[in-house]
Amino acid sequence: MKMTNQIRYILSITFILISITMTQGQTLKVFILAGQSNMQGYGEIYNPTTPGTLEHFLANDGADEFGSILDGQGDFMIRDDVWVRFKREEENTTKTGSLTAGFGVFDDFIGPELGFGWQLGDYFDEQVLIIKTAWGGRNLAVDFRPPSSGGTTGPYYQQILDDVDEALDNLSNDFPDYNNELVEIVGFAWHQGWNDGEEMAYLQEYETNMIHFINDIRNDLNAPDMKFVIGNSGQGGSALIEDDLWVFNLQTILVPAQENAANHDGYEGVGLADTRPFYRPTDISPSDAIYHWNDSGESYMLIGDDMGKVMIGLLDASQPSSVSYAVEPTHPISILPNYVKDAFLLRGMDGKQNINIINVNGVVVQSLVSDKAEVRIDISGLNPGMYFVEVRNPDNGSLSIKRLVKH
């Protein structure tokens, strides 16, 4: 197949590619936490005498496992190696800073980010960024509806993408210690489902919508290997609550749909965090609000912690992968980051390589030759958009083509 035919073929299946060269350097590991109010976070933090608050949990049953989030004076630790950005709907403000208690819907609440961030901060040597993008009272069927489900794409599906773009465009402003590290979107954590219980039709199509959502969001974030964790809608726990039809339908229809979506054939890097064991009844919780886990800081801490553990399990199980055509090089070629503004890394090359960056019209817009295993490529002079990156070894004829989007 000639070069021009290869490019036409790839274009026809909407692959978008770019190539990269670079020296060694650390990457900013980005995780997106999305969903509705339970991802915003309504877990009460304060008052150590009230069962279910985070303070009460840490002073009692959670002391051994989670006591490390407190310093010697009993104050909440601040993790400078994990940053958080959350655009709060209720206050129309954006909260940024290092991970600690207080990144929930308001400053005296937590969501899953605290337990999740603590897990991922311990896992990575590199800096971690959590982007929270969540809104109360939203369903997957309409509000977050993914494009592949047909009909009108949900406005909050697009808002997730806009929030991520905004966060990554403002790294230097939001986090003064950011030093132009490469950005890699590593994982996506989803905790949502309550409002799909309002209509039987929403419940019945949840599995399909969730399957489409995972695929579409990976494509639209240009992160096909992004790990995805679903925190299921475990309000009410494992025992069926038959006298509350809404909760009963979630337990018997929605939760199985979430599990089926996580186990969908052909998907890799998707996991399920079963949150049902973390439900606490009202007599040991701060309030009577089952839709918000009864405002239990204990529940939210445990949910985030488990979602983080599932995410780490996916990262540990992952294997290097690459998209290739013709003969694959002995060492699979990979690119970092998957979100590119000015430069990216091309890794895994073996011997001399001819590298072409090609736009969607099939025109070579940048070329270089490298005999290094890893090289940095500066594309700051290219316009934003889709590009192909072709890496060819002139000695053995192997060819690899990668995709990327310049923002």
Supply the pLDDT for residue 318: 67
- Percentage of residues in the chain having pLDDT higher than 70: 90
How many CB atoms neighbour CB 363 within 10 A? 9
19-48 average pLDDT score: 82
Q: CA–CA separation, 194 vs 246, rounded Å?
A: 9
pLDDT higher than threshold 80 for residue 123: yes
Positive or negative CA dihedral for 373, 326, 356, 166? negative
Task: Among 215-229, 277-291, 365-379, name the one with the lowest average pLDDT.
Answer: 365-379
| pLDDT-derived band at 362, boundaries 50, 70, 90 | confident
CB 115 within 8 A of CB 300: yes
Kindly state the average pLDDT of the residues 105-124.
Answer: 98
Phi and psi, residue 255, nearest 5°: -60, -45
- pLDDT given for residue 59 in this prediction: 96
Structural domains of the chain in order of their starting residue, each with its CATH number: 3-20+340-406 (2.60.40.3080), 27-317 (3.40.50.1110)
* Res. 1: pLDDT tops 70: no
The pLDDT assigned to 217 comes to: 98
pLDDT tens digits, 40-91: 999 999 999 999 999 999 999 999 999 999 998 999 999 999 999 999 988 8
Which residues are 305's β-sheet partners?
A: none
Angle at 317 between CA 313 and CA 318, to 5 degrees: 120
Confidence of residue 329 (pLDDT cuts 50, 70, 90): very low
pLDDT value for 325: 29
Q: Which of 242, 226, 235, 305 is nearest to 273 (CA)?
A: 305
Q: What is the pLDDT of residue 15?
A: 34
Q: How far apart are CA 28 and CA 178, in angstroms?
A: 9
322 vs 349, residue with greater confidence: 349
State the pLDDT confidence band at 338, using cuts at 50, 70 and 90.
low
Are 167 and 224 in contact by the 8 Å Cβ rule? The answer is: no
Residue 319 has pLDDT above 80, yes or no: no
319 in helix, strand or coil?
Answer: coil
Q: pLDDT confidence of 322, banded at 50, 70, 90?
A: very low
SS (H, E, C) the chain: CCHHHHHHHHHHCCCCCCCCCCCCCCEEEEEEEEECHHHHCCEECCCCCCCCCHHHHHHCCCHHHHHHHECCCCCECCEEEEEEEEEECCCCEEEEEEECCCCCCCCCEECCHHHHHHHHHHHCCCCEEEEEEECCCCCCCCCCCCHHHCCCCCHHHHHHHHHHHHHHHCHHHHCCCCCCCEEEEEEEEEECCHHHHHCHHHHHCHHHHHHHHHHHHHHHCCCCCCEEEEECCCCCCCCCCCCCHHHHHHHHHHHHHHHHHHCCCCCCCEEEECCHHHCCCHHHCCCCCHHHHHHCHHHHHHHHHHHHHHHHHHHHHCCCCCCECCCCCCCCCEEECCCECCEEEEECCCCCEEEEEEECCCCEEEEEEECCCEEEEECCCCCCEEEEEEEECCCCCCEEEEEEEEC
- For range 93-105, the mean pLDDT: 98
Q: How confident is the model at residue 321 (pLDDT cuts 50, 70, 90)?
A: very low
Indicate if the pLDDT at residue 14 is higher than 60.
no
Examine the pLDDT at 234 and tell me if it is beyond 90: yes
Residue 152 has pLDDT above 70, yes or no: yes
Residue 299 phi, psi dihedral angles, 5° rounding: -60, -45
pLDDT at 114 over 50: yes
Q: Residue 198: its pLDDT value, please?
A: 97
CA atoms within 13 A on the CB side of 279: 23
**What's the mean pLDDT when you consider all of the chain?**
89
How does residue 8 score in pLDDT terms, banded at 50, 70 and 90? very low
Question: Sheet containing 270-273: which strands, arranged edge to edge?
Answer: 93-99, 79-88, 128-134, 27-35, 182-191, 227-231, 270-273
Which helix (H) or strand (E) is 125 found in, with range? none
Give every CB contact of residue 348 below 8 A, 6+ residues apart in sequence: 320, 322, 329, 331, 332, 333, 334, 373, 374
Percent of the chain with pLDDT over 90: 73
The backbone region for 54, taken as left when phi is positive above 0, alpha when psi lies in -120 to 50, beta otherwise, is: alpha
Is 5's pLDDT higher than 80? no
